[in-house]
Amino acid sequence: MKGILKIYHPDETLKYHIKSTYCKAVYSNKQHFLEVEIITDESLDHVDDDSLQYNFPQLSLNVIDFPIEDAEIDGKSFEINDTDESYTEVDLFDDEEAYLYDNELSFDRNSEEELQLCWKGNIDDFYTGSDEPITFKLKCHFKPDEIVVEED
């Protein structure tokens, strides 16, 4: 498991295991941009049968082309609030829509010296349709997957 996403809905705390992570500082047209993609696992083995999460087994959270000062992100924090420019998006893998607000991303190194991300923010209540956004916290690392190739 690469990490965990917790969404603090008033009725229950929803827990998503992270399946894949991607993070890169991209240099384009004399400017650095941050790109992040976090995809949750669609397994529901750890979820109660009557959980709200059953309607949304998988999510993807993204930061797209967010301007940053330089390519170094270790030890830095970024506040991302979409205004005229949209830098964040969430994919619910169905017809529902949701938006992210008040995003705070903090990068540092864990005990194994792997880059990790702590992401706090608010998300539209796509579970019940309430007008009040709900808080979420995400923590994950960006350790490359080890691919084992067996010899014939």
Residue 150 lies in a domain: no
Read off the pLDDT band of 119 (50, 70, 90): very high
Closest CA to 21 of 115, 112, 110: 115
Q: How far apart are CA 78 and CA 85, in angstroms?
A: 16
Q: How far apart are CA 60 and CA 36, in angstroms?
A: 10
Residue 146 lies in a domain: no
**What's the start-to-end Cα distance of the chain, in Å?**
29
Please give the tally of structural domains in the chain: 1
Match 């903090």 to its residue by tokens.
106
Domain membership of residue 46 as a residue range? 3-141
Residue 152 lies in a domain: no
Q: How far apart are CA 91 and CA 106, in angstroms?
A: 22
Q: How far apart are CA 64 and CA 79, in angstroms?
A: 14
Residue 113 lies in a domain: yes
* pLDDT for the residue numbered 12: 87
Averaged pLDDT for residues 81-89:
85
Q: What is the phi-psi region of residue 29: left when phi exceeds 0, alpha when psi lies from -120 to 50, beta otherwise? A: left
Q: Which two tokens stand for residue 39?
A: 């995809």
- Contact between 119 and 137 under an 8 Å Cβ cutoff? The reply is yes
Residue 147 lies in a domain: no
Q: Indicate the helix (H) or strand (E) that contains 26.
A: strand 13-28
Averaged pLDDT for residues 50-69:
85
Of the two residues 44 and 141, the one the predictor is more confident about is: 141
Read off the pLDDT band of 143 (50, 70, 90): confident
Least confident stretch, 75-79, 108-112, 135-139, 148-152: 148-152
Closest CA to 51 of 10, 11, 90: 11
Residue 56 lies in a domain: yes
